[in-house]
Structure 1
């Protein structure tokens, strides 16, 4: 258990729907540290085995549930005090997973007597977008509030952490290749530390009267470009590859011609989302309104990128007095 955490969720039974991934694991640790009991609901509950040791005896339950199968949802949410929906996807039945289908999940939570519902959407959710991911995220927000008006909507930016698939992907690239093409080098990002986002969600659960019915953008304290991000990662890893900043026309062409191939560097939808940027709009409250002071990427990057240095931690020269 984390030290110094307020046990303001003591005894609360929280269902983490889709809670087996990167964000779900970090959120589970935050909620357990604050005294909550967890029911991790997923099509593959075995993937949450690493969450079990984070809690005390009987504090974590693993339940098989498929949001596309209503009968499994009703059973999984029986007796819960609160629900956090983390389900999201870039392909498949997006309307059922994160669009209108999320409204049915919110209704099931309401019917089960849940007092709080936090829906994790995404920064850039846009009902007018021609990208299905962004459009269904926006439709999901509307469906949730229609079914559960006191729900809290959070829109996180790109989440970063020591065990993410974002920074580590770029770290692996800069340590493996002498030449790195950069798609959308001028695209702006506002990444947020995963533990800060987890604290924000927990704070919303702890005070649903204050935060219910509201929408928040969870973004970090700095806006950086994709080109800058690549170069900062390389510097932290002690690497010096050549970066080839690709013009937007070239990047778009590559995405349209190769995006349908397995393992393609970027798909058409990913390209459209990238160039549209991933920064807070400022039209709704930010993470600070949930009581969190977000920490910058630079606070962690040098330490986390040690694994990608030529000799790891042994390649760091000791400072002399």
Structure 2
């Protein structure tokens, strides 16, 4: 993500220094954009290959450690204006979720206390919402019945909210399903010639392109002194059913759309409890509060870029 996607006024008001915890799909793209914008970037990762990649990109300080430990606390330079925690699961089921999201958050908060951090941003997930039946869901929706993984995320969000006095501002961005370069599961299925997709296709997918996640993060960091702390959904606000997305992709590839097989559930869906809930995630609060809007306004715009197509 080396191309400049931020308007000049945003670039001019970015924090001078940002440390990123968890440099996977989102964190690495964020680091690239911040570096291209002249920001001093630090990063923590547990992965040696990712660490090497971050150094190649020009990240100023790269720490290799497990986030949930405190071994890294004394290794990090003290002067960062902003913190971004976009860690992903280390695997290992619900225990892995707790290790990465919950204990990792505790560790960062302990390290950050008293360091004069201007803003702390945490990327959570819209998977915290248990709602079904195609309803519209915003940040006021109840999360009490969230799945186990969603409960861990909610607990991690609360840790940050409870530590609010330690920071100038804090933001939780609940991300919809992320797609983008090197992450396009359904497109890969069609390209492989699959004629049957496990499960059903009649539920809504809520999506957001990787690059739009990164610009949402940067927009929040810029407005830390003027925008109220809190929770914000990040989606393209254009939910579509899985069947609709698959049919459109098949059309672009010149293929017959594969059929869905409700009698067979993929391992991917089994890990998520079977059938996915169907709801429509609203990001109106983010748009209205920050003035943010996605570059890729719906899945068609995003996948056209991935397919090398021009918008028609």
| TM-score in terms of structure 1 length | 0.78
1:75 paired to 2:75:
yes
Whole-Å separation in 1 of the counterparts to 2:279 and 2:71: 36
Q: How does 1:213-292 map to 2 (within 5 A)?
A: 213-246=229-262, 250=263, 254=265, 264-271=267-274, 274=276, 276-277=277-278, 279-281=280-282, 285-292=285-292
- CA 5–285 in structure 1, closer or farther in 2 if over 3 Å, else same: closer
| Equivalent position SS for 2:122 | strand
Q: How does 1:59-98 map to 2 (within 5 A)?
A: 60-76=60-76, 78-89=78-89, 91=93, 92-98=95-101
Structure 1 segments (4+ residues) deviating >3 Å: 1-5, 48-55
Partner of 2:178: 159
| Equivalent position SS for 2:72 | helix
- Alignment gaps of 5+ in structure 2: 130-142
Greater helix content: 1
Q: Is the 8 A contact 2:86 2:123 kept in 1?
A: yes
Q: CA deviation at 1:145?
A: 1.1
Whole-Å separation in 1 of the counterparts to 2:96 and 2:73: 17
1:120 paired to 2:123:
yes
Q: How does 1:20-59 map to 2 (within 5 A)?
A: 21-55=24-58
| TM-score in terms of structure 2 length | 0.80
1:179 paired to 2:195:
yes
Q: CA deviation at 1:134?
A: 0.9
- Alignment gaps of 5+ in structure 1: 256-263, 307-312, 314-321
The number of equivalent residue pairs is 284
Partner of 1:16: 20
Whole-Å separation in 2 of the counterparts to 1:154 and 1:197: 9
Structure ranking higher on relative contact order (CA contacts 8 Å, 6+ apart): 2
Q: CA deviation at 1:2?
A: 3.8
Q: 1:102 aligns with which of 90, 102, 105?
A: 105
1:191 paired to 2:207:
yes
Whole-Å separation in 2 of the counterparts to 1:2 and 1:242: 35
| Equivalent position SS for 1:292 | coil
- CA 265–118 in structure 1, closer or farther in 2 if over 3 Å, else same: closer
Q: CA deviation at 1:101?
A: 4.5
- CA 238–76 in structure 1, closer or farther in 2 if over 3 Å, else same: farther
Tell which deviates more after alignment, 220-229 or 209-218. Answer: 209-218
Whole-Å separation in 2 of the counterparts to 1:159 and 1:64: 25
1:140 paired to 2:187:
no
| Equivalent position SS for 2:172 | strand
Whole-Å separation in 1 of the counterparts to 2:20 and 2:30: 9
Q: Is the 8 A contact 1:219 1:287 kept in 2?
A: no
- CA 187–12 in structure 1, closer or farther in 2 if over 3 Å, else same: same
Q: Which has the larger radius of gyration?
A: 1
Any idea what the Cα deviations from partners look like across 1:200-243, whole Å, max 9, x if unmatched? Answer: 11111122122352211100031101111222222222222431
Q: CA deviation at 1:156?
A: 0.9
Q: Is the 8 A contact 2:102 2:155 kept in 1?
A: yes
Any idea what the Cα deviations from partners look like across 1:74-103, whole Å, max 9, x if unmatched? Answer: 533632221100112262432232136513
Q: Is the 8 A contact 2:27 2:86 kept in 1?
A: yes
